[in-house]
Structure 1
Amino acid sequence: MKPLPAVGLASSLVQIIDFSVKVLQKEYKIYQSADGDFIENPTLLQNAVDNLFRLLFQLENNDLKKLSADPKRGKLSEAAEHLLKLGDETKLLATPLIDAILQAQAKGSYGDPKWTTLREALLTVWKKKDVTGLKKKLRNVRKDVDTSLLLALKQYLNQSAETGLPVFSAEDASHVERWQNDAMDAVHTNDWKPKTKKDVEGFSKHVDLLVQVENQAHFYSQMFAKLYFPHMDDRLHTLSAAHEGTFDWIFDSNNDESKTIHCINLLDWLSDSSGQNLFWITGKPGSGKSTLMKSLLRNPRLFPSLESWSDSAPGIITGFFFWGSGTKLQKSVEGLLRSLLYEALQDMLYGPLEQDPILVQLLFPSRWNQFASYGGGMYPFTVPELRLSFDLMISDVTRKFFLLIDGLDELDDYPNDIIDLLLSATKRDNVKICASSRPSPGFQDAFQERPRLVVDQKTRKDIQAYVQQMFNKDERLSRLRQEQTKDALEQELVHTMAEKSSGVFLWAYLGTDSLLQAGDELDEESDGLKVVSTRLKGLPLDLNLLLTQIFETMGQDDLWQASRLCRLIDAHGYPGLLSLSFSNDVDTRSSLHADIRPLKDSEVTKRLDDMTDLLSTKCRNLFSVFETSGSESHDVGHLRVTYAHRCIRDFVHTRPVWSKICEATGNDSFSSDEYWANASLWSLKTLQARRTSHIEVLRIWDDLAWCIEYALRLEDHDKKVRVTYLDEVGRAAIIERRDQISVMDLPQGVTVESFLDIAVWLNLQGYVAIKAKSAERKEIKHAMEYSKALRRQLGISGEVFWIGEKKRIKSAYGQSALELGQLLEYYAKPVKFATSKPKFEIPEHE
């Protein structure tokens, strides 16, 4: 059973009332960190405003209010009706408080003395009697809330006694459910009555606990949300699982061949307690280090050794895979620390350990104190802070931590920080780290005396097994396995491939694929295996030379297609497979004429199959498709494309190869932004609504924002505003789908009526100036009101969540809009006589 709707509403009411009272109290001091890193006055006030807006939104979207608006529901109880009225009253009290805080923020200036209370700031715009008057009204409302909630719980208890309605079980209950159950027990035990002042006061203390647990729960969820970042595990998912029968040697502690140069193998190292707590896996580029690391992550075959080391202490296993081709966080120390903290805390709190969530407060004490004080602590993480929290986490010697960290050489910065982090952490007896990297000088100097494994020295048999598997799967070669001599020749080929690869799995992968591309030559009339043998002799030993040969043997059409995809993927990062198919359309205006409807399953399948065929045949498997969810669901949204290996990406980016790619695609005449603008509009128009609970949700914001971003990039290039394109974006996102838009898709709290609302809010000056002349007056007025309300609600740096890394939108958002505002004011007036039109240069457009 879910919490009673009255409890949810009362919780929201008490939270906003109590926080507002704290803001008004002269006794309530602002928390400032003891390290002297003071929070500036404007930031303090913005944090308080953000928290009030959050609580107001929570108040506006409570379940009881939704029930009251449902015509199918019967009449609400007297207590519920009164709580709804108190909600309206509280909103009326909180709104002027927000306005006053914003006025104080605007009135302040840099260098003002630091406030010790938020009340001091309010007294710069309000009189003392205004502050005390509002505080008194809020406290009166709080008393009424306590009384009404007590009445609601009392009525439920009476009803349950009469009808046998269930009361909560403590098992698997949420914090609100547990609180409600405890409160009901207290009401029943003490026989509290809503009309007795002393009883209400006693019950009020239980309500205070509700606010406490709700605030803690919100803080915990926000910390997890700020640690988490999109695509955190994508690099792990790009890696194929190890082929059957490969890398098994690493789990054999009795095999002398698996011993490392430094005495012990991985399993022995895991169970060892001598203090050698860092194990380095290294090897040539493409030798299979990352595939090996993936096979080790949470592998049950490691557990006996880990248990031998950890003894009775609970163990935490987590990992991180750096990715040089990924986003900034995927190749930074910040991303590493956020991922490790997020995964470890999830394991400790929600895994078998089920530890107290107060652990989050202990790891982020300053943030918790700021949040409890004035709603702060929600700013972006810094690396020093994350490092401190990480050190606090692993300092608990009652837990053992085993961390796998892959691809240290893919870090964006110099290796000093990561080396210091690893060596410092592994000085602790309760931490073991298995890390992998190429044998770069920095890592060689730091780790060469540590237990280590050189992968390419161990993989000869693995590569033989892989090549044999690929040969066995090839239908054309299977027809040739008729005579013993041919079997012997095949074994010789497999052996030669393993020898020539020199332990580099990537060479074996590309070389085998190159051999099997001889499809037309492998027929029963000729000795196909000898053809393969001849081709094998022509494969160069060097990996870069092999890649050069692959490019040079491409036909003109294949080279053109592969080059297009190189440029499209480079411009995007690692796009979705369906999105890439949209961007590969040579007609960059095709999306303008496309229907606004989800694609049929047959249409999606054809696009995906065609794109996969292009990647494997024309592009010679230089790219790979992977599933970001880590499952095999093959959800269209989870299928993405990237380079098959970092070595291929590095090779493509060498000057002679990139020059050849650019030449094949027309050099400067190829605009990746144009193709991706077309793809983004295709994605927007074909979005599929998804059912969440009982409603259809259409998540449009990401595609909408990318459409705007690419339109602005193109405008920067030729100074032409993409009016036709943006009009179509607005039609696809807002006009044609108005009834489908969920409150989750666009900023909450204000309603979008047209694309002009979005354009004014984001300050798309060229587009707005062009459209203002022909727009209806009410549309312009609504756009101005929408922008004002949203910027007020989001506050300073409010674009962080909505704009993110879209640099061109961020630039537009932050520009001065004074002249544009004057132009909008002019067109919004009903009568323009005697009013001069502001000067605003109308840009070129198409």
Structure 2
Amino acid sequence: MLDPLTAIGLAGNVVQFVDFTAKLIAEGRAIYKAGATSENEDLEVITRDLIGLNGKLLSVSPPDSGSVQESEDEDLQHLAKRCVELGKELLSILEDLRMSGSYTRWDSFRMATRTVRKKDKIEGIQKRLNDIRAQLNLHLIALLRFMEMDRTDQLIQLKDEILMAIQELSQRDKRDRLQKKLLSKEQYLQPEANNVQDLSAISSKLSDLSQEGERVRREQRVLFSLRFRSMDVRHSKIPEAHNTTFNWIFEEAAEDDSLPRVEFMQWLRSSGDIYWLSGKAGSGKSTLTKFIASHPRTMQALSLWAGQHRLFTASHFFWHAGTDLQKSQEGLLQTILYDILRKCPDLIPAVLPFRWQAYGYSFENPEAWTLPELLTALRRLIEHDLSAKFCFFIDGLDEYYGNHVEIISLLRDLITSSNIKICVSSRPWNIFEDAFGKNSSRMLALQDLTRNDIQLYVQNHLEENEHFIRLKTRDPRCVDLVQEIVDRAQGVFLWVFLVVRDLVQGLTNSDRIVDLQRRLRRLPTDLEPYFKHILDTVEDIYKDQTAETFQLCLQARSPPLLMVFSLLDEEDPKFALTSSVSPLSVDEVAARYHEAHRRLNARCKGLLELVGDPIHDYFWETFSVQVDYLHRTVRDFLQGSEMQDYLKMSAGRHFDAHTCLANASLGLIK
């Protein structure tokens, strides 16, 4: 009699033998019926398909750009070649395991034995193929990302070039001047102009006209080279000042004696210097800068300073989340030069002699603008015998991407000329406090001056709501609610905007005054906790998509198009690889526009918003409107380590921004 352990071992061997035999019988039956197992047949079909796809990749010539895209393409070619080699090796094994011609059941059984023996080798090759296929996917995704970025840049650049050409070519002074010259020469083109003197006059006039046309052409080319695609994006995104707010900056004396004195008008009319608009995050610095930069009262006061001199103004708005030129010295200087020279293009030959000559000799564009070239051009402009005064409005010094000592040094260097004055805005950081905060008559702290503006804003927006109007007639505590909002705001307009939006939602639900007070008092008074509170209200089912959306915005080099989010939301994760190539219909574009906008609102609760110039054409809007942060403070908040951990935890699956952009890129050509 066997001992228990021996019996168990023997039973195990019997089970293994029976299992192995059953597999052989099943394999043999499949081979006898079809010449090969169904598993091997499927594997053969997949492998041949994989070889075919990689053969197509190998047939594509790599680019010669020497760029990152070229590197990705070379890696892709290498992986494709290795994939083809392994695939052929696997096909050779599978072919060896296929029966051909006439064969018996015993032949099938022997082939099944060989199949089982080579199973490990087949699985090993199959695993290596899967690994290579995964690497191919990653490299293909990265390559497609570069393609998407290039295609998007080209589309936007083409649109901006068209708009720019229309704008510049429609300058009235140039158009009228040429038109008058043409009309003045019409008399010389009559049939009776048949003598030599008339022909000589015609020739002279046409020569003058040709020279004038050449001059206009050069001027437009120089201006076009100075202008960059994102020059006006930040300015257009900044909200307009609410009705009657910020008017206090033009008053000689404060209406409320408890408020600090503002001497901005005196500065506008006096000699050159720097005026600093200081303010906490979200206090409305950019809105105020935009408000004063083009206000008629600003121009009137500056005209008194300029006297008999010509007056030129220019403005630039730094944007930390934007392109390189939106946050660099080069972008600042190009904007200033463009703003001034487009108003007085006759100065271009003297200010930019090299560019002027270059555009005369060739139609090719010279090299990109450099910082030394731009600085030299600006000095030439200032020192030119122009009898002119210059005032620059520069917003967001804290959003300058670089050493802030550099930008401060540049500004101080500029105001060494008595013909220049500069108004700047920034957060109250120590470096700006040290540079600009020593003269109280040349600065203001915005959060200390906006109490009345905030009260007016809250009253106007709440009283636009019919539910609040009815509630106010029944409950006098509505007045106290407005005052409580103003008291808690601490001069931060962005916080007020968010609170009013929250309260309006409560009014939509017919909240009582006690409900509105409860809403207000549970809202954080600091912005970052407020943003966290907003994200906590996102429905759980959306939180992984919310995290993906924010991560995409953080990874993008510029605000992504709305269409990217539409394509990102596709249910099929292989949408970009499986979609057919065909144009999008107008109806489909309109549907994608509406759906993407609504989904964005539901998942991000207003922390992201649409930016751009709506043109009431869904097709062009969908491919031009971008998605950007409600405010820079939202981006700062999302970039924090705590929030990054929160977003990763909220995501239901691994997020790869490169994957999202790649899917979007192929989705654009559905």
| TM-score w.r.t. length of structure 2 | 0.65
CA spacing shift, 1:264–1:541, aligned 2, 3 Å: closer
CA spacing shift, 1:476–1:604, aligned 2, 3 Å: farther
- In structure 1, C-alpha distance between the alignment counterparts of 2:444 and 2:429, rounded to whole Å: 15
CA spacing shift, 1:336–1:465, aligned 2, 3 Å: same
2:328 matches 1:329: no
- In structure 2, C-alpha distance between the alignment counterparts of 1:324 and 1:452, rounded to whole Å: 23
The answer on whether the counterparts of 1:574 and 1:642 sit within 8 Å (CA) in structure 2 is yes
Alignment deviations for residues 710-741 of structure 1 (CA, whole Å, 9 cap, x no partner): xxxxxxxxxxxxxxxxxxxxxxxxxxxxxxxx
Helix, strand or coil at the partner of 1:240: coil
Amino acid at match of 1:422: L
Match of 2:353 in 1: 365
Match of 1:513 in 2: 501
CA spacing shift, 1:496–1:235, aligned 2, 3 Å: same
Helix, strand or coil at the partner of 1:242: coil
Higher CA-based Rg: 2
CA spacing shift, 1:182–1:672, aligned 2, 3 Å: farther
Helix, strand or coil at the partner of 1:498: helix
- In structure 1, C-alpha distance between the alignment counterparts of 2:656 and 2:296, rounded to whole Å: 49
1:680 aligns with one of 659, 665, 669:
665
- In structure 2, C-alpha distance between the alignment counterparts of 1:541 and 1:503, rounded to whole Å: 11
The answer on whether the counterparts of 2:544 and 2:652 sit within 8 Å (CA) in structure 1 is no
Match of 1:433 in 2: 422
Alignment deviations for residues 338-365 of structure 1 (CA, whole Å, 9 cap, x no partner): 111111111123xxxxxxx3x2121112
Match of 2:606 in 1: 621
Match of 2:315 in 1: 319
1:444 aligns with one of 407, 413, 433:
433
The answer on whether the counterparts of 1:313 and 1:398 sit within 8 Å (CA) in structure 2 is yes
CA spacing shift, 1:436–1:567, aligned 2, 3 Å: same
- In structure 2, C-alpha distance between the alignment counterparts of 1:528 and 1:380, rounded to whole Å: 61
Structure 1 residues 652-661 or 370-379, which shifts more? 370-379
- In structure 1, C-alpha distance between the alignment counterparts of 2:207 and 2:448, rounded to whole Å: 64
Give how far 1:584 is off.
3.1
CA spacing shift, 1:481–1:580, aligned 2, 3 Å: same
Match of 1:232 in 2: 231
Alignment deviations for residues 646-673 of structure 1 (CA, whole Å, 9 cap, x no partner): 1111001101111221232356x32323
Match of 1:471 in 2: 462
Give how far 1:414 is off.
0.9
Give how far 1:312 is off.
2.8
The answer on whether the counterparts of 1:403 and 1:433 sit within 8 Å (CA) in structure 2 is yes
Amino acid at match of 2:515: V
Give how far 1:681 is off.
3.2
Alignment deviations for residues 91-150 of structure 1 (CA, whole Å, 9 cap, x no partner): xxxxxxxxxxxxxxxxxxxxxxxxxxxxxxxxxxxxxxxxxxxxxxxxxxxxxxxxxxxx
The answer on whether the counterparts of 2:468 and 2:507 sit within 8 Å (CA) in structure 1 is no
Amino acid at match of 2:244: G
Match of 1:385 in 2: 373
Give how far 1:564 is off.
2.2
- In structure 1, C-alpha distance between the alignment counterparts of 2:179 and 2:304, rounded to whole Å: 36
Alignment deviations for residues 429-453 of structure 1 (CA, whole Å, 9 cap, x no partner): 3222111111112211111134011
CA spacing shift, 1:193–1:512, aligned 2, 3 Å: closer
Give how far 1:569 is off.
2.1
The answer on whether the counterparts of 2:535 and 2:604 sit within 8 Å (CA) in structure 1 is no
Amino acid at match of 1:564: E
- In structure 1, C-alpha distance between the alignment counterparts of 2:598 and 2:477, rounded to whole Å: 31
Amino acid at match of 1:561: Q
CA spacing shift, 1:182–1:289, aligned 2, 3 Å: farther
- In structure 1, C-alpha distance between the alignment counterparts of 2:593 and 2:604, rounded to whole Å: 15
Give how far 1:467 is off.
2.2
Structure 1 residues 645-654 or 372-381, which shifts more? 372-381
The answer on whether the counterparts of 1:404 and 1:435 sit within 8 Å (CA) in structure 2 is yes
The answer on whether the counterparts of 1:271 and 1:308 sit within 8 Å (CA) in structure 2 is yes
Match of 1:767 in 2: none
Give how far 1:190 is off.
6.9
The answer on whether the counterparts of 1:368 and 1:377 sit within 8 Å (CA) in structure 2 is no
- In structure 1, C-alpha distance between the alignment counterparts of 2:573 and 2:197, rounded to whole Å: 71
Match of 1:733 in 2: none
1:289 aligns with one of 276, 282, 285:
285
- In structure 2, C-alpha distance between the alignment counterparts of 1:649 and 1:210, rounded to whole Å: 53
- In structure 1, C-alpha distance between the alignment counterparts of 2:449 and 2:262, rounded to whole Å: 15
Unaligned runs of 5+ in 2: 1-173
Helix, strand or coil at the partner of 1:323: coil
Match of 1:413 in 2: 402
1:584 aligns with one of 565, 569, 574:
569
Say which structure, 1 or 2, has more relative contact order (CA 8 Å, 6+ apart): 2
Match of 2:544 in 1: 560
CA spacing shift, 1:464–1:594, aligned 2, 3 Å: farther
2:453 matches 1:462: yes
CA spacing shift, 1:377–1:230, aligned 2, 3 Å: closer
- In structure 2, C-alpha distance between the alignment counterparts of 1:313 and 1:633, rounded to whole Å: 45
Match runs of 1:256-271 below 5 Å: 257=256, 265-271=263-269
Structure with a larger share of its residues in helix: 2
Amino acid at match of 2:642: P
Give how far 1:258 is off.
9.2
- In structure 1, C-alpha distance between the alignment counterparts of 2:458 and 2:294, rounded to whole Å: 28
Alignment deviations for residues 769-794 of structure 1 (CA, whole Å, 9 cap, x no partner): xxxxxxxxxxxxxxxxxxxxxxxxxx
The answer on whether the counterparts of 1:238 and 1:628 sit within 8 Å (CA) in structure 2 is no
CA spacing shift, 1:376–1:535, aligned 2, 3 Å: closer
Helix, strand or coil at the partner of 1:562: helix
CA spacing shift, 1:280–1:589, aligned 2, 3 Å: same
Give how far 1:566 is off.
0.8
Match of 2:487 in 1: 499
Give how far 1:454 is off.
0.9
Give how far 1:213 is off.
5.4
Give how far 1:293 is off.
1.0
Match of 1:345 in 2: 341
Alignment deviations for residues 484-541 of structure 1 (CA, whole Å, 9 cap, x no partner): xx2x222212111111110011111223333444468x44xxx622112112222222
CA spacing shift, 1:382–1:176, aligned 2, 3 Å: farther
Give how far 1:264 is off.
5.3
Give how far 1:390 is off.
1.1
CA spacing shift, 1:203–1:299, aligned 2, 3 Å: closer
Match of 2:248 in 1: 249
Give how far 1:380 is off.
1.0
- In structure 1, C-alpha distance between the alignment counterparts of 2:238 and 2:276, rounded to whole Å: 20
Amino acid at match of 2:268: L
CA spacing shift, 1:375–1:474, aligned 2, 3 Å: closer
Give how far 1:300 is off.
1.5
The answer on whether the counterparts of 1:258 and 1:265 sit within 8 Å (CA) in structure 2 is no
The answer on whether the counterparts of 1:405 and 1:433 sit within 8 Å (CA) in structure 2 is yes
2:178 aligns with one of 173, 176, 182:
173
Alignment deviations for residues 456-495 of structure 1 (CA, whole Å, 9 cap, x no partner): 0011122222222332344554453441xx2x22221211
Match runs of 1:138-217 below 5 Å: 172-173=177-178, 191=196, 216-217=215-216
Unaligned runs of 5+ in 1: 1-168, 350-356, 686-846
Match of 1:308 in 2: 304
- In structure 2, C-alpha distance between the alignment counterparts of 1:539 and 1:588, rounded to whole Å: 38
Amino acid at match of 2:650: A
Helix, strand or coil at the partner of 1:480: helix
Q: Percent identical across equivalent pairs?
A: 29
- In structure 1, C-alpha distance between the alignment counterparts of 2:198 and 2:253, rounded to whole Å: 74
Report the aligned-residue RMSD: 3.6
- In structure 2, C-alpha distance between the alignment counterparts of 1:258 and 1:342, rounded to whole Å: 42
Match runs of 1:740-755 below 5 Å: none
